[in-house]
Amino acid sequence: MTKWLQRIALFSFVLALALPQVAMADSAADTYKAKCAMCHGAEGAGKAAMGTKDLGSADIQKMSDADLNAAITNGKGKMPAYKGKLTDAQITDLVKYIHTLKK
């Protein structure tokens, strides 16, 4: 019986360690879904009607993190600026998220 309890305690401990990381990965994806997907597509593939390119394409992936960050912070063409609407940390996470869309 005590062994069993120890196992539950160990399992909860491991879960508690793992959770913050899951939450972080989720939040960039959630921000993307809430603020970006309507123009860039659910999977970042782009929408012709909006004039957005595939975020996973070589064209976008070869942009530096600083350029991606600047595009989100200051806007670009028809894209609105997110300065003041998203925190710097959220924008940095979004840049990382864009890299996960690489083809």
Q: Is 7 or 85 the residue whose CB approaches ligand HEC more closely?
A: 85
**Which of these ranges, 8-16, 17-25, 72-80, lies near ligand HEC under the rule CB under 6 A?**
72-80
How many other C-beta atoms are found inside a 10 Å radius of the C-beta of residue 89? 11
82 Cβ contact list (under 8 Å, min separation 6): 35, 72, 73, 75, 91
How many of the chain's residues bind ligand HEC (CB under 6 A)?
A: 21
Pick the binder of ligand HEC from 3, 62, 78, 103 (CB under 6 A).
78
Query: Between 82 and 101, how does the x/- string for binding to ligand HEC read (CB under 6 A)?
Result: x-----------x---x---
60 Cβ contact list (under 8 Å, min separation 6): 53, 54, 68, 98
Smallest gap, in angstroms, from Cβ of residue 51 to ligand HEC?
5
74 interacts with ligand HEC by CB under 6 A: no
29 interacts with ligand HEC by CB under 6 A: no
68 interacts with ligand HEC by CB under 6 A: yes
Contact at 8 Å (CB) between 55 and 99?
Answer: no
The Cα–Cα gap between 24 and 93 comes to 8
